[in-house]
Amino acid sequence: MAEYIPSPSQWVADQVELYEGSNGTQALTLRDSGLPVIIVTNTGHKTGAIRKTPLMRVADGANYVLVASKGGAVEHPLWYHNLKAEPNVEIRDATNVYSMRVRELPESDERSRLWDLAVEAYPPYAEYQEKTDRLIPVFVAEPV
């Protein structure tokens, strides 16, 4: 089994540890925003290690919408490259854990609809898109 490497960002590592250590009963929101997060377990594209990333909870029926915003930074977050290299992920939503497969959405009606859903769940996404010249990637995670 691959090694788990926690995030180099201490608050992210701490949140993942508390979220997973409590079996999805604690650390369920983004810091003090009160907005729910999920944990996406993915495989590092360079290391092959297990990586865990808290992302905003954007549900669309049985699917989840994953937004690679990195706060509107110029470059994609590292986990974006992991999902592109290995689309099979595990998503923990509170006490539920799902095996899922992600696909990045091209500009389309589906992407527009899911982007709007994401902005409704987490309004800062709209500001992040305004801050950057890159089109913020949107993935849909679907049950395997």
Asked if the structure places residue 3 within a domain, the reply is no
Asked if the structure places residue 105 within a domain, the reply is yes
Dist CA 5 CA 100 (whole Å): 21
Asked if the structure places residue 4 within a domain, the reply is no
Range of the structural domain that residue 136 is part of: 10-143
Asked if the structure places residue 1 within a domain, the reply is no
Closest CA to 73 of 10, 11, 13, 137: 137
Write the CATH number for 53: 2.30.110.10
Residue 61, Cβ density class (10 Å: 0-12 exposed, 13-18 middle, ≥19 buried):
exposed
Asked if the structure places residue 33 within a domain, the reply is yes
Kindly give the confidence (pLDDT) of every residue in the chain, 144 residues in length, as a single tens digit, with 9 standing for 90 and above: 789 999 999 999 999 999 999 999 999 999 878 999 999 999 999 999 999 999 999 999 999 999 999 999 999 999 999 999 999 999 999 999 999 999 999 999 999 999 999 999 999 999 999 999 999 999 999 999
Sorted by sequence, the CB contacts under 8 Å of residue 1 that are 6+ apart come out as: none
- Structural domains in the chain (count): 1
Asked if the structure places residue 16 within a domain, the reply is yes
Q: Give phi and psi for 141, each to the nearest 5.
A: -105, 125
Asked if the structure places residue 123 within a domain, the reply is yes
- Residue 22's Cα: distance from chain center in Å? 19
